Amino acid sequence: MARMIFIQPPPQLENQYHDDRVLRSYLHRALPDDVRAEIELQLAGMGERAGADLYVQQLAERNVEPRLIQWDAWGNRVDRIEVTPLWREAERIAAEDGLIAIPYERSHGAYSRIHQFALVYLFTPSTDLYSCPLAMTDGAAAALHASGNAALIEHAVPRLTARDPAIFWTSGQWMTEASGGSDVGTSLTVARQEQGTWKLYGRKWFTSAIASQMALTLARPEGNPPGGRGLALFYVETRDAEGRLNSIAVNRLKDKLGTRKVPTAELELNGAPAQLVCGPSDGVKNIAPMLNVTRTWNSVSAVALMRRGLALARDYARRRVAFGAALADKPLHLDTLAGLQAEFEAAFHFTFFVVELLGRAEAGQASAQQADLLRMVTPIAKLTTGRQVVAVLSEVVESFGGAGYVEDTGLPMLLRDAQVLPIWEGTTNVLSLDTLRAIDGARGLELLEREARYIMQGVRHPDLVRISARVEQTLEAARLWFVERSQNAASLEAGARRFALTLGRAIALALLSRQAQWSLDHERDERPLAAARRFAASGTNLLADLDATDARMLARDSAA
């Protein structure tokens, strides 16, 4: 008798634009029809590639990793980095599709950032975090523009924003040193003037874009005081005309939990020639425009990875049978996926709200209040979506059972890659403290409350009206919590993460509610309403009155 062998059909991806209800519905609401019509073909093309050839190549290259070649055959130190074939292809697509160029060409005015990030969102999950060097490239172009350094703007920005792959440059952002990534003011790299040229000496501990042609970095001009203000922002070109590294040695590539295709290096700067971008101090302040952009890329990457995990999990649920029925027909499995979908939809609308504000600010169309709002919501969205993506992808892995834990399904990689998103560009805690600075007292919180009321002013469905009251109560409770603790710095700091996440979840819920009402009115689609109900039920107010002394006792727990 023939043996029966069961082969499980794997999950499949469709065109990732056509298949994405949330993105399409959002673009329908947020963009004028003519803008949407102009960009739709490009989005559909990117969605097709992301669900087909790029995804196939990504799975096929699962075990291919970047290599550092330190020596050539004749004993010359070369420190060459070979990136993966998918990364080379991603670079070409990024240039040709204008993933950096679009917001600088600004063909669609304030909507250009929505156009760019909709493409980035489709591109990211199938290109092994090539979005990392792109984020820094976009951030560098923004920081150079903000610096007003005409010579550097003229020299570097046309390369960073080029559509021709032969001209296109990417940029690194070298901040973190072994002494501090969050506390970057402890940096030990020094800058010396030698024969009229600045030369940098020091060690950069995490540099993810060493294959890039340039970098923006921090160093302390000799004689400057310690701390962040004593650092200056420098522009470095990594290689000379012959392609040799400019007095830079790559000590090694990091052996990392995830982002394995990103060549993150430890560098030694042995007198690397550099140019001052702004003045000889205040480097941390001057690099801030770069960080605002890279943090927005981080939020977009988080929603993109959540969406990829859900697309695969939903498809698999239709193909996998257990106890006589497809998982897609099991109420409890559906309930689990629904919770993840609600987190994703809330994160999506929050992220694209930041994107919209950024686009408006860059087009000179943001009011002073919208500029303040952008400063506040950028770190809040980054930290909120960074936590969400890890939680969602952990559940996505579980939703595949044992297959989710097996490397050649490509699923574990999603979770490992996601885990970097709450760490780089500012950890959750560090951005929570940044949120306290950004809100600038109760005034900032009142602005957030006003904005939330404005966002939700059109909701009429009774459930959404109830939810909007909940959002208002949560934001008011957050303001009272903040005012109460303003006199007690330690208590305010101890609660900063729960405070920032409360703000993040409340704003995300407001935005999801607005979309839900719009979808009811224009698409007769109740799914965003269902997502809003779920997200509201999962809790927004995390400000339980927890005691800092308890925290100290628990954190220092030991056998003694």
Ligand X SMILES: Cc1cc2nc3c(=O)[nH]c(=O)nc-3n(C[C@H](O)[C@H](O)[C@H](O)COP(=O)(O)OP(=O)(O)OC[C@H]3O[C@@H](n4cnc5c(N)ncnc54)[C@H](O)[C@@H]3O)c2cc1C
Q: How many residues bind ligand X (CB under 6 A)?
A: 22
Residue from 112, 147, 161, 208 binding ligand X (CB under 6 A)? 208
Can you give the three-state secondary structure of 419-439, one letter per residue?
CCCCCCCCCHHHHHHHHHHHH
Nearer to ligand X, 448 or 500 (CB): 500
Helices (H), 73-217: 85-96, 101-105, 112-123, 131-147, 150-160
Q: Any contact of residue 171 with ligand X (CB under 6 A)?
A: no
Terminal alpha carbon distance of the chain: 65
Nearer to ligand X, 259 or 301 (CB): 259
Can you give the three-state secondary structure of 49-74, one letter per residue?
HHHCHHHHHHHHCCCCCCEEEEECCC
Q: Any contact of residue 394 with ligand X (CB under 6 A)?
A: no
Residue 559 and residue 248: Cα distance in Å, rounded? 47
In terms of C-beta density within 10 A (0-12 exposed, 13-18 middle, 19 or more buried), how is residue 45 classed? middle
Q: How far is CA 5 from the centre of its chain?
A: 43
Q: Any contact of residue 182 with ligand X (CB under 6 A)?
A: yes
Helix (H) or strand (E) holding 295: helix 288-319
Asked if residue 315 lies in contact with residue 12, where contact means CB atoms within 8 angstroms, the answer is: yes
Q: Any contact of residue 227 with ligand X (CB under 6 A)?
A: no
3-state class of 242 per DSSP?
coil
Residue from 114, 120, 175, 455 binding ligand X (CB under 6 A)? 175
Nearer to ligand X, 107 or 429 (CB): 429
Q: What angle do CA 184, 189, 193 make, to 5 degrees?
A: 130
Smallest separation (angstroms) from ligand X to the CB of 284? 12
Which listed range, 150-158, 175-183, 478-486, 530-538, lies at the site for ligand X (CB under 6 A)?
175-183
Nearest residue relative to ligand X (C-beta): 181
Q: Any contact of residue 224 with ligand X (CB under 6 A)?
A: no
Smallest separation (angstroms) from ligand X to the CB of 259? 5
Smallest separation (angstroms) from ligand X to the CB of 196? 28
Q: Any contact of residue 135 with ligand X (CB under 6 A)?
A: no
Smallest separation (angstroms) from ligand X to the CB of 487? 20
Which listed range, 12-20, 34-42, 167-175, 274-282, lies at the site for ligand X (CB under 6 A)?
167-175
Site for ligand X in 238-277 (CB under 6 A): 256, 259, 264
Q: Any contact of residue 427 with ligand X (CB under 6 A)?
A: yes
Q: How far is CA 89 from the centre of its chain?
A: 21
Nearer to ligand X, 182 or 538 (CB): 182
353 phi/psi in degrees, rounded to 5? -65, -45
Residues that bind ligand X (CB under 6 A): 173-176, 180-183, 206-209, 256, 259, 264, 420, 423-424, 427, 429-430, 433
